[in-house]
Amino acid sequence: MDDFNIVSTLIGLIGGLGLFLYGMNLMGDGLENAAGDKLKNILEKVTSNPISAVIVGALVTMVIQSSSATTVMVVGFVNAGLMNLFQATGIIMGANIGTTITAQLVAFDLDQIAPIAVGIGAALVLFSKNKKTKDIASIILGFGILFLGMGYMGDAMKPISQTPQFTNLILAIGDNKFLGIIAGLGLTAIVQSSSATTGILIALASTGSIGINVALPIIFGCNIGTCVTALISSVGTSKTAHKAAFIHLAFNVFGTLIFIPFMGAIGNIVQNISPGDVSRQVANAHTIFNVSNTLIMIPFIKYLILIVNKIVPGEDVVEKAGPKYLDDRLLETPIIASGQVMKETVRMATKAKENLMLSIEAFNTDDEALAKKVYSNEKLINILEESITSYLVKLSQTDISAKENEILQSTYYVVNDIERIGDHAENIADLTLEKINRGLTHSKEAEGELKNIFSYTLNALELAIDAYEHRDAKMAEGVYPLEEKVDQLQREYREAHIKRLNEGKCSAYTGTLYIDTLSNLERISDHAVNIAESVLNRK
């Protein structure tokens, strides 16, 4: 084979692989967006029951079409403290089952209908204005591009299979299983996708170049190679996240070691199931290995964790002040990342609400320690505002559904409103310290009025936060009458204050603190309405 043929063959192989990976990614994005909240709900239900965790891992991977992406997402969840190692291990095992769907899909000989799928998908993407239709179009287009890539790879490998060098390599792998495992490991580590390696094997099998005896050790190796993505993603994370990545590696290494003696038996089984169809044999062997490995290893999850605890000793120290739910690894799965933004925003809002309660209690009880705690919490609120806003910018650059994008756009404003609520709580803390330093006191009547208006303000804020968290329009509507009551009370109490001032019942300076406190509470209720309006799409 001359140099020109070598170059053109490599171009065909690289181009085919690129189309395969792009098609798989496009199809995964379309499935993910079409699944929407269902995918978030699936992950929310992860428990310490290993069977349910395995099922969740398999389902999520079927949707996003990448076990590597699922595992990276799990590392992000563990790093954020949202998932323990036991749960993470179950999901990682399930991801290995979910990825077999891709192999089963590409084993079908659908090269002939791939152009039709591309044509239909492209037309829908170009001419449809409906986001849901575009998501379905992405699935169809990705499906077509994936099989076009498979066709290109198959065509490119036909001349390769006729060279003596390739024949010698196949003979060497056939005689040495460990060489095949190393080849699969290396190739998957380079392309960062076990599905891509399996796709290449199926393309080779479709040309009649290899048999199942050669493909099997490469399949075993690609399961180890896919761990590289998670190991890389765990760099700079917590020790627990490191452990999750190493559990993925340990699971696949032990599984490979267990099944090496049974390669011949697996080969015989798949040959009997699909005689003469090596492509289908490769897909079936991939499925049998991953499903059997998971079923065998489930009872030994706690021992896997014990082994990894020896490899990565120690526990994480105190959690740093900052976002709890946000992790850049989750941006690979935008629908999940958007759910995490909601959680972090609710956490920020809850912290602002706590600060409001602390500031009023400090004001009423002249407690300097409580007032200073407000300042400490305000620092966290400011950090969260910056972190959430930055994360929203990154998330807006991903492919998210129209519904999620609408929620995220409104969240920019919600985060700003929450930060302003924190500022008003801090203002009340400032007034508290001024009141304490000057030894000022309010009349019983004024104290009662402040407690009353605070009660309505707090109720409005709590209802607004609940409405935002649950996207509940009815709750959001309930904020308006509370805010109107706060406005009414502020007017009444200002007039009552002026009357007390004229009667000499309070000093001008004490009255100033009182009026400023009323104003801050009234402004907080306004921001609560703004948060409610984000749910009602009135902003």
Most confident segment among 40-44, 168-172, 183-187: 183-187
Q: pLDDT category, 480, cuts 50, 70, 90?
A: very high
Q: Which two tokens stand for residue 355?
A: 């600060």
User: In 3-state terms, what secondary structure has residue 378?
Assistant: helix
Q: What is the pLDDT of residues 62-84, one digit of tens each?
A: 877 777 778 877 887 787 666 78
Q: Dihedral of CA 266/268/272/276: which sign?
A: positive
Contact 285, 215 (CB under 8 A): yes
* Residue of 349 and 241 predicted with greater confidence: 349
Distances (CA, A) of 472 to 42, 352, 467: 21, 21, 5
Q: pLDDT category, 170, cuts 50, 70, 90?
A: low
Q: pLDDT category, 528, cuts 50, 70, 90?
A: very high
Mean pLDDT of the chain: 83
Tell which residue, 307, 354, 305, has the closest CA to residue 465. Answer: 354
Residue 418 CA to residue 411 CA, distance in Å, equals 10
User: In 3-state terms, what secondary structure has residue 441?
Assistant: coil
DSSP symbols for 253-270:
HHHHHHHGGGHHHHHHHH
Q: pLDDT category, 44, cuts 50, 70, 90?
A: low
Residue 414 CA to residue 66 CA, distance in Å, equals 33
Looking at residues 459-471, what average pLDDT do you find? 92
Looking at residues 109-136, what average pLDDT do you find? 82
* Residue of 117 and 196 predicted with greater confidence: 117
Q: What is the pLDDT of residues 380-401, one digit of tens each?
A: 899 999 999 999 999 888 877 7
3-state helix, strand, coil in the chain (%, to 5): 85, 0, 15
Q: pLDDT category, 279, cuts 50, 70, 90?
A: confident
Q: Is the pLDDT of residue 1 over 50?
A: no
Q: Is the pLDDT of residue 316 over 50?
A: yes
Q: Is the pLDDT of residue 539 over 70?
A: no
Q: What is the DSSP letter of 99?
A: T
All residues at 6 or more sequence positions from 143 whose CB lies less than 8 Å from its CB, including other chains = 23, 27, 114, 117, 121
pLDDT at 291: 92
* Residue of 215 and 80 predicted with greater confidence: 215
Q: Is the pLDDT of residue 4 over 50?
A: no
The amino acid that residue 163 corresponds to is T
pLDDT at 175: 66
Q: Is the pLDDT of residue 318 over 70?
A: no
Q: Is the pLDDT of residue 106 over 90?
A: no
Q: Is the pLDDT of residue 496 over 70?
A: yes
Instruction: Tell me which residue has tokens 């001008």.
Output: 508
pLDDT at 319: 46
Residue 24 CA to residue 383 CA, distance in Å, equals 37
All residues at 6 or more sequence positions from 264 whose CB lies less than 8 Å from its CB, including other chains = none
Largest CA distance in the chain: 108
DSSP symbols for 314-352:
S---SPPSS-SS--GGGGGSHHHHHHHHHHHHHHHHHHH
* Residue of 70 and 43 predicted with greater confidence: 70
pLDDT at 196: 77
